[in-house]
Structure 1
Amino acid sequence: MNIQKSFDQEYAPKLYIVPTPIGNLEDITIRALRILKAVDMIAAEDTRNTQKLLNHFEIKTPLISYHEHNKQTRGTLLLEKLQSGQSIAAVSDAGMPAISDPGQELVRLAIENDIDVVVLPGANAALCALVGSGLDTRSFLFYGFLPRKKKDKEIELEKLNYMQASILLYESPYRVKETLQTMQKIFDSRRQIVLARELTKRFEEYARGTIEELLDWAAGRELKGEFCMVVAGNENAADELSPEKWWEEEQLTAKEHVAYIIENEGITSKEAIKRVAAERKQPKREIYQAYHQLGE
């Protein structure tokens, strides 16, 4: 168990999670600027991008890189600095760190070692897109980026098809059309979707409509900028077609179910077998035998 009282020890070292603007530099908060100036070091996803932000606001705090490819070794180094009494601010290129950006592992590492983690509020593209979409905001699922492989993307969209909540996705401009085409195969063609691009920037744009309408809109355009896709929930989703039953829709065997989870979530076969047994409500022994093809 871990209890954190963030400001009881004013001078104790802290890991600050600091959101940065997703486009418009005016969206940074006064508190964020103060923290970036006050900490001993800033851990940045891309030091070149963050340096531009710091230069704009005349902030001289030293930078160190922390990204997907060095998070293991760099995380250890940052923890050592925190344990030595230094405070560190973690930032991503834009928006809230740890939301489809590096930071989650660093937060966990700090918590496991009793370092206070203080998260500042700030810009987030997905929430901006949701509010501006006009779709239901009462319940939503943030998914992030869909898989790139066509089959994996189809499987994920099959699962998402039965969500009654609004769905928030990030997508590259180079894959928006292909993703819409895949959605057309799986979703009701009347499903409402909103594409939001270049949020908070000069060329901010929302395209709202059905899948068919958005495919027509996108067909003759060269799409640019990072996209947020907001998908209306499936109001007609039946309980028997809940996301928990997605493997039945895909007609996956128990062995294929285990293999899919191992490949896409990077967990061990032991963990995957336990998970599949729980999802299918079958004894773990049966899933183990099916996966390893015992007794055949």
Structure 2
Amino acid sequence: MTGKLYLIPSPISDNDIDWVIPREVKQSIQQLTYYIVEHPKTARRFLKHIGCKLPIQEIHMHTLNEHTRPDELTLLLQPLLAGNDTGLLSEAGSPAIADPGSGLVRLAHDNKIPVIPLVGPSSILLALMASGLNGQQFCFIGYLPIERHARVQTITELEKHSRNHDQTQIFIEAPYRNQGLLELIVQTCLDDTDLCVATNLTSSHESVTTKTIKQWKQKLPDINKIPTIFLLHG
């Protein structure tokens, strides 16, 4: 009999962990001895915060990040195939959503390993909920191209697609490029297009603001190096 693969969300801000991780979730994973994580150091800190009582020496951690090759995923499944329940722990937010892990989850399905998603924060969904934009039709794009010409072209295409299909377009950027991206969106899009800028979600400095491009042109916030979700609706 195989073990179960638990998909474990983690906080996306420095706010109190009790605010975003339900008690039942913490209780259900406290006895796990096998974890698949992005960074062992932050994973150990998370386990300490949820009140894990197991000695750290008894916890086995294997790394899954953007450098993990597809042919290495099978090795990560071995504890599960041997009958051990295992947690896939996100660095921030929910596993496999804008985060490594979907390939491992798919392989778990192929091997008839039960996959158990646990409740926790997802900045993408929180931003969409609070945006006032279309939550019935939406698409998460991920990161836009870095090169300016390709980036402008992508923004234009996303705006056009949004208008034609009434679909909210959601995307992110590395925090140190957020200000440049915001300025480029405002320069590129039509005045009546809606743009939501959601920053520092779940923290004490959280801000979610939706305006038309014309309104944004009056004054832009400083979001340099601040975690941000962008939502566009033409």
TM range (shorter): 0.7 to 0.9
Instruction: Mark the structure with the bigger radius of gyration.
Output: 1
Aligned residues, how many?
A: 222
Distance 1:77 1:126 in 2: 30
**What one-letter code is carried by the residue in structure 2 that aligns with 1:180?**
L
Query: TM-score, normalised on structure 1?
Result: 0.68
**What SS is found at the alignment partner of 2:88?**
strand
Corresponding letter in the other structure for 2:130: G
Match runs of 1:245-256 below 5 Å: none
Q: How far did 1:203 drift?
A: 1.2
Change (3 A) 1:180 1:190: farther
- Distance in 2 (CA, whole Å) between partners of 1:38 and 1:122 is 18
Deviation at 1:97, TM superposition (A): 0.7
Looking at both structures, which has the greater relative contact order when contacts are Cα pairs under 8 Å and sequence separation is at least 6? 2
Gaps of 5+ in 1: 1-10, 235-296
Alpha-carbon RMSD: 2.2
Matches of residues 23-172 of structure 1 in structure 2 within 5 Å? 23=13, 24=15, 25-26=17-18, 27-59=20-52, 60=54, 61-72=59-70, 74-161=72-159, 162-163=161-162, 164-172=166-174
- What code does the residue aligned with 1:230 have? L
Amino acid corresponding to residue 121 of structure 2 in structure 1 = A
Q: TM-score, normalised by structure 2?
A: 0.84
Q: CA deviation at 1:224?
A: 3.4
Partner Cα distance (1:37, 1:74) in 2: 27
1:16 pairs with 2:11: no
Offset, 1:89: 0.7
Following TM superposition, by how much is the alpha carbon of 1:99 offset from its aligned partner in structure 2, in angstroms? 0.8
- Report deviation, 1:15: 1.1
Q: State the identity %.
A: 28
In structure 2, the CA distance between the partners of 1:68 and 1:35, relative to structure 1 (3 Å rule), is farther
Distance 1:224 1:182, change over 3 A: closer
More helix by share: 1
**Contact 2:177 2:225 (8 Å CA) reproduced:** no
Give the drift of 1:216.
4.8
Q: Residue type matched to 2:197 in 1? A: L
Match in the other structure for 1:207: 209
Structure 2: runs of 5 or more not aligned: none
Change in 2 beyond 3 A, CA 1:136/1:165: same
- Could you tell me how far 1:73 is from its partner in structure 2? 5.7
